[in-house]
């Protein structure tokens, strides 16, 4: 099969293609829909959930609140993680950096078991330095997988074919069975650069067992290194000119927000809790008691 060059054309297309977050997973004889359990996913699986039919990543507990990171174009909403659904706290959403496709928001639940589950998770580690080219990553997101067949072949004119000799492209078409949390692996493919206001890094979808590619329609999925540190947040995909909708083709790319660039801003965007009136009221009382002892 002829493999056309994608790299430069895909970079030019990144600001034009669909937003993304879920993963199509390659594999010999696979369907693009493997890896729907935590086995092999690493600790990032425990932090990645769904929001507004898309994805989000639980950051941890800060200032007495519990916080989630997602893409700004996904926005705050009900967040489901580990079988529990949490409400977004009104007016808690904040954009860490103006123009960047990122948003943090606070979550809560009236279910004590749900809040206990959150409390059992330590704060997620955020990358503070850029990932080196070639760094292994695990991509986790909520979205559609491949349809229940092996890979699909296309001619140079994007007609499906059963003949390998006529094929110019190979990949998967999205399934129609709905969305599901899924993980796959990849490698950082280049140095970060700014695309449409967000600094991103790229991963390339190769015909390698277990390799992941973002799929269109829902963003906010996490990209984690081998230590479980959040290094990226999937936000956009790039494809070939003329590529049919709802497909993931070998050579496509996924663009993920470079968390190292934004980690400080993300934590800064989380507001400190208001000091309660009870605490404020205790200050003058303590001062009065001190005066009495000194008299």
* Domain parsing of the chain, residue ranges: 7-42+126-261
pLDDT at position 34 is: 72
pLDDT digits (tens, 9 = 90+) for 63-96: 899 999 999 999 999 999 999 999 999 999 999 9
pTM for this entry: 0.83
Pairing of strands 84-88, 54-62: unpaired
Average pLDDT over residues 217-227: 87
At residue 23, the 3 state secondary structure works out as strand
What pLDDT is stored for residue 209 in this prediction?
A: 84
Chain CA centroid to CA 289, Å: 53
Reported as a single tens digit per residue, the pLDDT across 86-141 is: 999 999 999 999 999 999 999 999 999 999 999 999 999 999 999 999 999 999 99
Secondary structure, 3-state, 235-280: EEEECCCCCCCCEEECCCEEEEEEHHHHHHHHHHHCCCCCCCHHHH
Quick one: tokens of 32? 């693009």
Tokens of 13: 């297309």
Give the containing element (helix H, strand E) for 88.
strand 84-88
User: Tokens in use for 154?
Assistant: 């296309």
């Amino acid at each position: 099969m002829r493999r056309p060059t994608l790299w430069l054309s895909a970079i030019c297309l990144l600001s034009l293609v669909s937003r993304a977050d879920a993963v199509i997973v390659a594999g010999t004889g696979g369907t693009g829909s493997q890896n729907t359990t935590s086995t092999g996913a690493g600790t990032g699986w425990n932090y990645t959930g769904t929001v507004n039919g898309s994805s989000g990543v639980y950051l941890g507990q800060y200032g007495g609140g519990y916080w989630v990171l997602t893409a700004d174009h996904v926005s705050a909403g009900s967040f489901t993680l580990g079988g529990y659904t949490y409400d977004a706290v009104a007016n808690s959403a904040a954009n860490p950096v103006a123009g960047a496709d990122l948003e943090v928001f606070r979550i809560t639940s009236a279910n004590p078991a749900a809040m206990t589950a959150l409390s059992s998770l330590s704060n997620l580690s955020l990358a503070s330095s850029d990932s080196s080219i070639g760094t292994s990553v695990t991509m986790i997101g909520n979205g559609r997988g491949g349809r229940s067949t092996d890979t699909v072949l296309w001619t140079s004119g994007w007609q499906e074919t059963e003949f390998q000799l006529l094929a110019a492209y190979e990949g998967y078409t999205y399934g129609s069975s709905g969305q599901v949390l899924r993980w796959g692996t990849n490698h950082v493919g280049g140095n970060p650069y700014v695309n449409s206001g967000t600094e991103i890094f790229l991963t390339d979808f190769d015909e390698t067992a277990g390799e992941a590619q973002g799929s269109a329609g829902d963003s906010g999925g996490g990209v984690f290194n081998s230590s479980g540190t959040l290094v990226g947040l999937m936000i956009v995909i790039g494809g070939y000119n003329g590529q049919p909708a709802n497909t993931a083709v070998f050579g496509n790319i996924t663009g993920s927000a470079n968390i190292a660039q934004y980690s400080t801003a993300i934590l800064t965007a989380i507001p400190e809790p208001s000091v309660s009136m009870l605490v404020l009221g205790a200050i003058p009382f303590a001062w009065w008691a001190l005066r009495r002892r000194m008299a």
